[in-house]
C-alpha cells in the first residue's frame, strides 16, 4: 500500500509539533510531509506535494484555513493520480462553519486536542481514503460539492452595503469616479483590486470580498477567486488540451482563467 501523507498548517509551532507527535502515535503509517506556518505556505505546499490529508488551522495569517481550502478546490489539478486531499479543520471555536463541514463528511478538531478525538478522526480518515481508492475514476469525489459549500461560507455576510454605481479610484490627489458599466473586470492583487476598463487600469485599496458585497452580483460573474468579470464583455469561453477553461474578452487582450468552482456558468462548453 502506498504510504499516506499529510500536511499540517498551524501558525503556533508548539501546537503544530504536538499534533505531529500525536499523529505519530495514533497513525504511525502516516507521513507528515510538510508543516506550514501560515495560509499562503499551506496552499503552496499542498499544491506542490499533493498530500492525502491536510490539517488546516482555521485562523492563520495570510489566508485562513477556509480560504486555503477554497483555493485548493479551485487550483487542484485535474489528475486522477492525485485526488483532492481530505480536509480536517483545527479550531478553538466551535461554530456554524465547523458544523457545516461535519455534515459534508469533512472532519474537525477542537483545541486543545483530545487524544481520543484525534484517534477517531484518524480512523474516519482511513476509512474515507479506503473508499476513495475504490472509486472509479469517472465517479465524483465530492470536490465540487465541497468547493461550492466553501464558496458560500466565504461569501460576505453581515449588514448589506450600499450598491456602488461608480468605483472611486484615487491617483495621487485625484479621485476618479469610474462608472461600473465601463469596468470589464476586477482582479484581486495583494491588498488591492485592479479595476480594468477597455482602455485603462486603476487600483483601489479594497479586498475583492468587500467589493463583491457592494456591487450587484447580477452584473458581474465571479469566474475565479481573484476575478470578477462583466458577462457582456466576454467574447467566448474555450477549453485547452488539458480541459482547463478560460474566457476571451471583447475589449481587452487578456485571457482570464476560469476555476472549476465556477465552470457551471459555462454549461455546454
Q: What is the CATH number of the domain that holds 203?
A: 2.40.50.1020
* pLDDT value of position 200: 94
Give the Cα separation of 98 and 83 in Å (integer).
23
Residues 164-189, mean pLDDT to the nearest whole number = 92
The C-alpha atoms of residue 103 and residue 129 are separated, in whole angstroms, by: 18
- Stated length of the chain: 269
Show the domain range for 109: 5-153
The verdict on 24 and 130 lying in the same domain is yes
The tens digit of pLDDT for each residue in 41-58 reads 999 999 999 999 999 998
Residue 70 lies in a domain: yes
> Tens digits of per-residue pLDDT, 189-229?
878 999 999 999 999 998 888 898 899 888 999 999 899 99
Average pLDDT, the chain: 85
Residue range 163-192: mean pLDDT, rounded: 90
Extract the C-alpha cell encoding 260: 472549476
Based on the fold, state whether residues 142 and 206 are members of the same structural domain: no
> 228 and 106, same structural domain?
no
Query: What is the predicted pLDDT for the residue at 184?
Result: 98
Task: Assign 3-state DSSP to the chain and report helix, strand, coil percentages, each to 5.
Answer: 35, 30, 40
Residue 158 placed within a domain = no
d(CA 260, CA 256): 13
The total number of structural domains that make up the chain: 2
Shared domain check, 141 and 174: no
Q: Are residues 59 and 22 located together in one domain of the fold?
A: yes
Check residue 148 and give its pLDDT: 61
Q: Residue 121 domain-assigned? A: yes
Same domain, 178 and 96: no
23, HSE (Cβ side, Cα atoms, 13 Å): 25
Give the pLDDT band of residue 69 (cuts 50, 70, 90).
Answer: confident
Helix or strand holding residue 222 (H, E)? strand 221-224
Give the domain CATH number at 125: 3.40.50.2300
More confident residue, 239 or 146: 239
Q: Which of 94, 118, 153 is the last residue of a domain?
A: 153
- Quickly state the pLDDT bin for 257 (edges 50, 70, 90): very high
Query: What is the reported pLDDT for 267?
Result: 79
pLDDT per residue as tens digits for the range 4-22:
999 999 999 999 999 999 9
Q: Is residue 159 part of a domain?
A: no
Domain presence at residue 160 = no
Per the CB < 8 A criterion, the answer to whether 98 and 117 are in contact is: no
Same domain for 170 and 148: no
User: Does residue 50 share a domain with residue 29?
Assistant: yes
37 and 115 together in one domain: yes
Note the pLDDT of residue 103.
46
Residue 40 pLDDT more than 60? Answer: yes
**Domain-ending residue, one of 128, 153, 178:** 153
The answer, yes or no, to whether residue 100 has pLDDT greater than 90, is no
Q: Smallest Cα–Cα separation from 180: which of 218, 147, 142, 134? A: 218
Cα 27–chain centre separation: 28
Identify whether the C-beta of residue 195 lies closer than 8 Å to the C-beta of residue 211. Answer: no
Residue ending a domain, choose from 89, 123, 153: 153
Q: For 105-145, what is each residue's pLDDT tens digit?
A: 468 888 999 999 999 999 999 999 998 888 755 444 556 56
Pair (16, 138) in one structural domain: yes
Q: What percent of the chain has pLDDT over 90?
A: 53
Q: Is the pLDDT of residue 98 over 70?
A: no
Note whether residue 101 is domain-resident.
Answer: yes
Residue 161, in any domain of the structure: no
The pLDDT score that the predictor gives to residue 230 is 97
Secondary structure letter of residue 112 according to DSSP:
S
Q: Give yes or no: residues 171 and 139 share one domain.
A: no
Q: Give the pLDDT of residue 156.
A: 55
Q: Tell me which residue of 8, 53, 3 sits closest to 28, measured CA to CA.
A: 3
Q: Is residue 229 part of a domain?
A: yes
Q: Which residue has the higher pLDDT, 123 or 70?
A: 123
Are residues 56 and 92 both part of a single domain?
A: yes
pTM: 0.69
Amino acid at each position: 500500500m502506498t504510504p499516506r501523507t499529510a500536511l499540517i498548517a498551524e501558525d503556533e509551532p508548539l501546537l503544530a509539533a504536538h499534533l505531529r507527535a500525536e499523529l505519530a502515535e495514533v497513525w504511525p503509517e502516516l507521513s507528515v510531509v510538510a508543516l506550514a506556518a501560515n495560509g499562503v505556505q499551506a496552499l503552496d505546499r499542498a499544491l506542490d506535494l499533493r498530500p492525502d490529508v491536510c490539517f488546516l488551522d482555521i485562523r492563520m495569517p495570510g489566508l485562513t484555513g477556509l480560504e486555503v481550502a477554497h483555493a485548493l478546490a479551485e487550483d487542484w489539478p485535474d489528475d486522477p493520480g492525485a485526488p483532492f486531499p481530505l480536509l480536517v479543520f483545527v479550531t478553538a471555536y466551535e461554530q456554524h462553519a465547523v458544523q457545516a463541514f461535519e455534515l459534508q463528511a469533512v472532519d474537525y478538531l477542537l483545541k486543545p486536542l483530545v487524544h481520543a478525538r484525534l484517534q477517531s478522526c484518524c480512523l474516519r480518515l482511513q476509512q474515507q481514503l479506503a473508499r476513495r481508492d475504490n472509486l472509479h475514476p469517472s465517479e465524483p469525489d465530492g470536490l465540487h460539492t465541497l468547493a461550492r459549500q466553501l464558496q458560500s461560507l466565504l461569501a460576505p455576510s453581515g449588514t448589506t452595503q450600499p450598491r456602488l454605481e461608480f468605483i472611486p479610484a484615487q491617483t495621487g490627489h485625484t479621485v476618479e469616479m469610474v462608472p461600473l458599466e465601463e469596468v470589464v473586470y476586477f482582479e484581486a492583487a495583494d491588498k488591492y483590486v485592479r479595476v480594468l476598463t477597455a482602455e485603462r487600469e486603476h487600483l483601489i485599496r479594497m479586498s475583492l470580498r468587500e467589493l463583491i458585497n457592494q456591487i450587484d452580483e447580477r452584473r458581474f460573474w465571479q469566474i475565479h477567486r481573484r476575478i470578477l468579470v462583466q458577462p457582456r464583455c466576454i467574447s467566448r469561453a474555450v477549453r485547452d488540451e488539458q480541459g482547463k477553461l478560460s474566457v476571451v474578452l471583447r475589449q481587452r487582450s487578456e485571457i482570464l482563467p476560469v476555476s472549476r468552482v465556477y465552470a457551471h456558468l459555462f454549461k455546454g462548453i
